[in-house]
Amino acid sequence: MTVPRLVVEEVSVRFGGLAAVDRVSLAIAPGEIRGLIGPNGAGKTTLFNAVAGLVYASAGRILLDGTDITRLPPHRRAHAGVRRSFQSVQLLGRLNVLENVLLGLHQSMARGMLASAADVLLRARREALAQTAAMQTLDYLGIADLALRPVAALSFAQQRYVEIARALAPRPRLLMLDEPAAGLSPAEVARMDGLLRQLRNEGMSILLVEHVLSLVFEVSDSISVLNNGRLISGGTPQAVAADPAVQAAYLGDEYNALT
């Protein structure tokens, strides 16, 4: 039995008296796409942020490949292999595409203060290696020709891809995508679908928060459903869609209309 890539164990996140996330448990295997859905205000974003480290769990544990990361600050979780994209694309407007992707590879160049300083001053070998890795990632995503363009000049879908490239370049163990399909055309969503499958087939674990239900139900290996901070359902897309609790929460007619 393999160690799960991510384990969320009885995690609660409280703000004052309010539990935005209430004793949620889930586990993601290596090479699995997990969809995380729920109505607005269900706690998806909070749970997402708790795993990424932007918010600390008030109770419970979070394990990455068996290692407890519950109390690690965000930059240490990034080192451990948790990388995320943001709902509203967060790129550095003053830099070009390549430089933005290089931001994701910061750790590979910054490891060990003295070694890093020596490298910067003398041979800059790490930077060269990082640039190669960044170009590889851009090539993989099919946007290598955009490498030197300023990000402000890109279309929205292209910016999305740059954001994903930045998260992907350091070969994360867990890729967390926050509504990657929002604002994309159907053709672009289909392309995103293909990309996620390809990553999964190569062994990447992906946690996907998404409102574009067609994508989530198509691409996820399994889905977790939150409502009012609690996990109300989980399992294969078919099982979740048929679950009356989920239908009651918000799906209902929408999904039936899709099938």
Given the complex with other proteins, which of 74 and 183 has the nearer CB atom? 74
Could you tell me the smallest distance in angstroms from the CB atom of residue 39 to other proteins? Answer: 20
Could you tell me the smallest distance in angstroms from the CB atom of residue 104 to other proteins? Answer: 5
Given the complex with other proteins, which of 41 and 244 has the nearer CB atom? 41
Could you tell me the smallest distance in angstroms from the CB atom of residue 95 to other proteins? Answer: 7
Given the complex with other proteins, which of 95 and 232 has the nearer CB atom? 95
Amino acid letter at 174?
Answer: L
| Residue linked to tokens 């967390």 | 176
Q: Which segments within the chain are labelled E, that is strand?
A: 6-15, 18-28, 33-37, 59-64, 67-68, 82-84, 174-178, 205-209, 222-227, 230-235
Phi (first) and psi of residue 163, to 5 degrees? -60, -40
Could you tell me the smallest distance in angstroms from the CB atom of residue 102 to other proteins? Answer: 6
- The three-point CA angle 30-32-35 to 5° equals 135
Given the complex with other proteins, which of 86 and 250 has the nearer CB atom? 86
Given the complex with other proteins, which of 32 and 243 has the nearer CB atom? 32
CB under 8 Å, gap of 24 or more: what pairs does 137-146 form? 137/101, 137/165, 137/168, 137/169, 138/97, 138/98, 138/101, 138/165, 140/168, 141/165, 141/168, 141/195, 143/97, 146/97
Given the complex with other proteins, which of 135 and 242 has the nearer CB atom? 135
Full DSSP string of 204-237: -EEEEE-S-HHHHHHH-SEEEEEETTEEEEEE-H
Could you tell me the smallest distance in angstroms from the CB atom of residue 186 to other proteins? Answer: 27
Could you tell me the smallest distance in angstroms from the CB atom of residue 98 to other proteins? Answer: 8
Sign of CA dihedral 8, 10, 12, 18: positive
Judged by phi (left if over 0) then psi (alpha if -120 to 50, else beta), residue 252 lies in left
Given the complex with other proteins, which of 8 and 102 has the nearer CB atom? 102
Q: In the structure encoding, which two tokens stand for residue 169, read together?
A: 């370049």
Where along the sequence are the contacts to other proteins (CB under 8 A)?
A: 5, 30, 45, 49, 52-55, 65, 73-75, 78-79, 81, 83-84, 86, 90, 92-96, 98-99, 102-110, 120-121, 124, 126-128, 130-132, 134-140, 144, 147-148, 150, 166, 168, 170-173, 199, 202-204
